[in-house]
Chains A and B, each alone.
Chain A
């Protein structure tokens, strides 16, 4: 099974797939990733579900192309 077809949320898959982009410039930088996930540290550390209202542009773009392929 491909990671893209797994049961995990689209946003989670988009973030992880971004990190393994072939080109390093396509990946989030450490600062971008940290600034994105750090505000959600409480639910993440409690292993609770949480809502992500917006994502960095690199993630929004890969999410959009991912959804276009899916539907």
Chain B
């Protein structure tokens, strides 16, 4: 989502970010209504794409054979990897107390973080203090 804009040094317009927010939220609502999977997946700028028509696509994490879920990155203490885990998930996972029923609050965090990364064309970790 960000890589192309960064190379062009072209910021996202607010209308484009509203579109991204709406699309990602609609996807979550759809998943919740249909009960397809408990989670949308690992939402982060690497997994969110804008196609030629300007539509938002969320890639399945299994599209990249060598990619790991954010939980595993945190467990392996790989702080250099990109993860947008919500603070409560980060704490819960590190204390072996994983809450699978947090009403999508952690995914809303990941959506907000993805939008901020897109708005600033930068890594969310550089603008957010997780401590």
Q: Which residues of A contact B (CB under 8 A)?
A: 1-3, 6, 8-9, 12, 15-24, 27-30, 33-34, 37, 41, 44-45, 47-49
Contact = CB atoms under 8 A, between A and B. Distances in A.
Interface in B66-107: 86-88, 102-107
Contacts, number: 85
Q: Which of B18, B87, B111, B128 has the most CB of A within 10 A?
A: B18
A12 to B, nearest CB: 6
A27 B19 contact: no
Contact of A34 (B25, B102, B116, B119): B25
A28 B109 CA distance: 10
Given A44-B19, A47-B54, A30 B116 contact: no
Given A19-B112, A29-B105, A30-B108, A45 B19 contact: yes
Q: Which of A18, A19, A27, A30 has the most CB of B within 10 A?
A: A19
